[in-house]
Structure 1
C-alpha cells in the first residue's frame, strides 16, 4: 500500500509499505479520508516528536472495514467507521481514574503505530466507531478534531448563558466556536488575524470577530461584557494571545488552554492572582466519539464548513503541508486515498 512517512524536518515521502498484520481483536480499515492536523504540520516544520516510534503519520481518519480478526464483535466488513487514535494501557493510575487521554503509557495510531496517511490501517476494535448512514466519510475524518473541541468545552466552567472568547480560528477554533454555541454561550468573541477565518467565524455564529492588529481586544470585550468573558479558550498558542487573553476574562472566570505550544510564555502572574482567574488545560478527549459522531451527523456542529481542500495522498506534501505552511487562510485539508 501507499503511505506517507516522515523522515525528518520537511521530509515526508509517499512510499510503498506493507499493510500492518491483522491479529486477534484487530480490524483492517481501508482508509478513505484523513485530516492534516496542526500537530502534523508542526512535525513537518520542526521535525518528528520525541514520542514518535512509527514513521507513517495521520491520526484523524475514517474508512471502511474490509476484514476483521478473531474475536472482533463490534464491527463487520463493510462498516463505515471513524478511528480513535489514542491507545491507552488501562492499567496506569490515570487510566484507572478514567483519564485515558492522560495515560502514562499512551500509544497512538499515527505516532507509535502506523496511522491514517495510508491506504490501509489495522487498529483495535475498541478504536473504531461506526458512522450512521447519513454521515459522510469526510465528516468521519473530522470526529477526532471535533472531539478535542467538545472535550475542552465539557471540561470548562462554561454554563448556559455565559460569554466566551476564542483566540485563534483555525480548525479547532472554529469547532470550538460551534461547541460553545451548542453549549449555550450567549455571546462569543473570536480573535483572529486572518480575514477569511474571521468571516468563516461570523458565518458559524460568532457574535463579534476581532483582529488583534486593528483593535484593543481587552477594551472591546470589557465594554461588551461589563468586565470580561466567563471563559476564554486559547487555541493559538503564542505569548500574545495568552497575555491578552487572560486580561479579557472576568474575575473568577477561566482561561482554558487547548493548544500545544512551541515556545514558553513569560507573564506576570498578578493578573491571574488579583482576579482569581483559573488557568487550566485541556488535552485531547476521553470517551467522546459516539457523542461527537451524533453532533456531526445531525449538523449541530457543521464539519463541512471547515474543510477547505481535498487532495490526493500522492500530493500530500505539495498540496497539503506546503500549502498550510504558506496559506493561513486554509483551514482543514483532507487527504483522500483513492484519488
Structure 2
C-alpha cells in the first residue's frame, strides 16, 4: 500500500509498504482523510522531534525512522481482530492517536494518561500512520462516529479534541468572555469550542484572511487586529472594564502572551495551547498582583467522546476549516509547501491516501 514515510528533516518519501498485521484486540481502518498538522511541518523543517531518529527506537513502539506519518485521520473499519466485538466492518471511526505503555491506566476515569512517561503519537512515534491507505490500531484508541458526520470533517476531530481539552483546562463557561491569541488552525478550533459552549469569543490576529475566516465561520464575536487597535483596551471596553475571564495563547509568540496577561481580569485564567520552542518570560509581579492562573495543556485525555458528541449534535461545523484536499503524491509539493510558505491562505489541508473522494 502507499504511505508517506518520514526519513529525516526535509526527507519524506511516498513509498509502497506492507500493510500492518491484524492482531488480537486491534482494528484495521481504511483511511478516508488525514489532515496535515503543524507538528508534521515541524518534523519536516526542524525534526526529528517526536519521530525517533534512525537507529534510536522509541521505547514503547520499538520503531525509529523511517516511520509513516499522519495522526489526524478518519476512516472506515475494514477488519476486526480477535476479541473485538463492539465494532463492525463499515463503521465510521476516528483515532485517538496515542502510543502509551500497556501498564498505564487509560480507563474513562483517568485524567493523566497523556502525561505518562515516553508518551508519543501514532503517525509520529511509529505504529503506522494516517498518511497510508490503511492502518491497524488497538481497539482502545478507536472511536466510532455517526455516519451523519462526513468523513472529511471527522478528520478534524483530533485537533478539535486538542481545543476541547484546552477549553476544559481553562474552566471558562457559558456567558463568560475569552480572548484567543492567534487564529491559526488550533486557535480557530479553540474559538469553535468556546463559541459552541456559549462563550463570547474575541480573536486577536494579525492576518486579515484569518480574522475573516473566524468571522465567516461564526466562531468569533470580535476579530481584532493588534497592529491597529489596543486589544487590551478593546477587551476591557467589551467587559465593562473588568477584562476577559479566560485567554488562550495559540501562537508561541511573546508579545501575544504579554497581551493576554493584560487582557484577563484579576483571577483570570491563561491557557498556553501552543508548543514553545524557546523559553518565555512574563511579569511575575503582575501574575501575583492579579492572581492570574497560567496553565499548560497538551493533547487530550478522555476528550474524544465529548468532542465527538459536540460535532454530532451539530453545535460545531467543521466544514469552513477544510481549505484544501489533495492526494498522497502531492503531500510535500502541494500540502507542506502551502502550509509553510502561504499559511495565511489555508487552515486545514486534507490528504486522501487512496485518492478516493478527490
TM-score after normalising by structure 1: 0.95
Q: Counterpart of 1:274?
A: 289
Equivalences, count: 338
Q: Counterpart of 1:306?
A: 321
Aligned with 1:167 (options 181, 184, 187): 181
Tell me the alpha carbon deviations over residues 64-98 of structure 1, each in whole angstroms, 9 at most, x when there is no partner.
Answer: 11111111112122222111101333534898853
**Shift, 1:255, TM fit:** 0.6
Tell me the alpha carbon deviations over residues 185-213 of structure 1, each in whole angstroms, 9 at most, x when there is no partner.
Answer: 1x321011111110111122312111122
Q: Counterpart of 2:8?
A: 8
Aligned with 2:349 (options 321, 333, 336): 333
Q: Which sections of structure 1, spanning at least 5 residues, go unmatched?
A: none
Tell me the alpha carbon deviations over residues 133-187 of structure 1, each in whole angstroms, 9 at most, x when there is no partner.
Answer: 21111122111111111111112121221110001111211111121112221x3
* Partner Cα separation in structure 1 for residue 168 and residue 110 of structure 2: 17
Q: Which sections of structure 2, spanning at least 5 residues, go unmatched?
A: 53-63
* Partner Cα separation in structure 1 for residue 343 and residue 224 of structure 2: 16
Aligned with 1:322 (options 325, 337, 344): 337
Q: Counterpart of 2:155?
A: 141
Q: Counterpart of 2:205?
A: 192
Task: Please state if 1:85 is matched with 2:101.
Answer: no
* Secondary structure, aligned partner of 1:89: coil
Q: Counterpart of 1:210?
A: 224
Matches within 5 A, 1:83-122: 83-89=95-101, 91-92=103-104, 98-112=111-125, 113-122=127-136
* Partner Cα separation in structure 2 for residue 271 and residue 44 of structure 1: 38
Q: Counterpart of 2:302?
A: 287
Q: Counterpart of 1:182?
A: 196
CA contact (8 A) 2:111 2:302 kept: no
Task: Please state if 1:37 is matched with 2:51.
Answer: no
Q: Counterpart of 1:74?
A: 86
CA contact (8 A) 1:94 1:103 kept: no
* Partner Cα separation in structure 2 for residue 133 and residue 331 of structure 1: 24
* Partner Cα separation in structure 1 for residue 220 and residue 27 of structure 2: 40
CA contact (8 A) 1:6 1:48 kept: no
* Secondary structure, aligned partner of 2:290: coil
